[in-house]
Amino acid sequence: MKLLRPALLTLTCLLVQPTLANDLPSLGDASSGIVSPEQEHVLGRAWLSLLRGQVKQLSDPQLKDYVENSVYRLAETSQLQDRRLEFVLLDSPQLNAFAAPGGIIGVNGGLFIHAQTEAEYASVMAHELAHLSQRHFARGLEAQQRMQLPMMAAMLAGVVAAAAGAGDAGIAAIVSTQAAAIQAQRRFSRQNEQEADRIGIVNLERAGYDPRAMPSMFGRLMRQYRYDQKPPEFLLTHPVSESRIADTTNRAEQYAQGGTQDSLRYQLMRARTQLKFESTPGVGAKRFRAMLDENPEMDAARYGLALAQMKAGQLADAASSLEPLLAKAPDDLTYNLAQVELDITANRLQQAQTRLQRLLQLYPGNYPVRQMHIDLLMERGETQQAERELDKLAEQRRRDPDIWYQVAEVRGLSGNIVGLHQARAEYFALVGDYDQGIEQLNLAKRRASNFQISARIDARQKQLIEEKRMVEDMLR
């Protein structure tokens, strides 16, 4: 990971705050008014853009779509009032998830590896949503004001580095901070965690999941990493103890037996993620075969095997693996997208087009299907049509840097140079590089063919300049 820029470090000092020791204020009282929900919204997006410029993310549309839909489902039954959520998926196999002010939800790819069921995954997400609904950031500002900023900065630099996957460097930064400050942070964090556990269990049950998944996952993680000198980042920022497991167990047992434990959809996404972090496709294929030997009916393992075979160039074997899955569930989105990807790889573009047209009818507006359609149009050399479809997608996902990156590439190929610079400006703004974004709009203005286009570009440039100024003001 790159060294943390001063801007990110300073902003992080505002984000990861300890909360008050005993009686937490109600959300409507004076102390919670130190920062308004709208200020949190702006602050969170500024932090997210800076984070995106620092760490590598997962760009898999299916994983992004799954996380977004699953968290929105949990949010519907939560106490979260402002549901303008935004997501970032970090390309890290380490177990971690986090919430930041203003509705920012972060997930490491490693969460799918460590959370063995959908209910376990949902328990982590419900916990993070509780941090947001209880506005732990705003409620911790009073405690922050009593701590010396340099001490806070040193400690929080380590917290951010650890969250971003810096491992030993992050841990070293934390332990090098003065012991008294560390103890205070841990004490405050424990109270935040207890409240997030309590509310998370309530929300988990309301959303239809088995609330026992939370203590089950905590217990398994503690047993797994009890003697590990380098535990996963999640356990550094969400320390698990016997008392915490006992407390969540007691709370979960107050609910009747039942609730969703797992789903095939989650296991399919889990297989995709596991394969991403395998050293080679062959290693992944070997593991999925072993799972099928143990249980031939494990469809998620068969799906993972098909992806591994495709990645290794074994296209005929991949087709054989997908065939029984599609026969069993001919309309399944995940299986059909895998078949489309296989057909594109094998240059069977007409077959891929026919299947995609059917998927577009079955799942209108679905992000992964639309993205696959754009990929196919590019393979077919239909650049202008791909550009039109991308423009529509960018309109719906305006804060997705992956989309704007591809928009810039496609506009360049189609000869839309003004549009290329405009798309690059949006991308750079979303990853926190406002200077580059503003410069890209300068380049666009020089090539603008008429006054109307130039005026629109100029208006957007003024917006970016204002956003940059606002972020800089917050960081002072």
Which residue in this structure is represented by tokens 């047993």?
223
Has 128 been annotated as catalytic?
Answer: yes
* Given the residues 118, 128, 299, 467, the one annotated as active site: 128
Say if residue 41 carries a ligand binding annotation. no
Distance separating alpha carbons of residues 24 and 37, to the nearest angstrom: 18
Alpha-carbon 228 to chain mean position: 26
Distance separating alpha carbons of residues 383 and 388, to the nearest angstrom: 9
Q: Which two tokens stand for residue 342?
A: 């296989």
* CB distance 9 to 156 below 8 Å: yes
* Given the residues 40, 60, 118, 197, the one annotated as active site: 197
Cβ neighbourhood burial of 386 (10 Å; 0-12, 13-18, 19+): buried
What are the backbone dihedrals phi and psi of residue 216, each rounded to the nearest 5 degrees, phi first? -60, -45
Has 197 been annotated as catalytic?
Answer: yes
Instruction: Spell 316-349 as b/e; 16+ CB within 10 A means b.
Output: ebbbebbeebbeeeeebbbbbbbbbbbbbeeebe
Which residue in this structure is represented by tokens 């204020």?
25
Q: Which two tokens stand for residue 420?
A: 């290329």
Which residue in this structure is represented by tokens 């959809």?
265
Distance separating alpha carbons of residues 44 and 48, to the nearest angstrom: 6
Cα diameter, the chain? 68
Going by the DSSP 8-state scheme, the letter that residue 168 receives in this structure is H
Say if residue 373 carries a ligand binding annotation. no
Alpha-carbon torsion 146, 148, 149, 155, what sign?
negative
Cβ neighbourhood burial of 292 (10 Å; 0-12, 13-18, 19+): middle
**In one letter, which amino acid is 232?**
P
Alpha-carbon torsion 284, 285, 289, 292, what sign?
positive
Say if residue 127 carries a ligand binding annotation. yes
Distance separating alpha carbons of residues 49 and 54, to the nearest angstrom: 9
SS3 184: helix
What are the backbone dihedrals phi and psi of residue 97, each rounded to the nearest 5 degrees, phi first? -155, 150
Going by the DSSP 8-state scheme, the letter that residue 104 receives in this structure is E
Going by the DSSP 8-state scheme, the letter that residue 209 receives in this structure is B
* CB distance 52 to 432 below 8 Å: yes
Just list the catalytic residues: 128, 197
Known binding residues for Zn(2+) are 127, 131, 193
Residues belonging to the binding site are 127, 131, 193
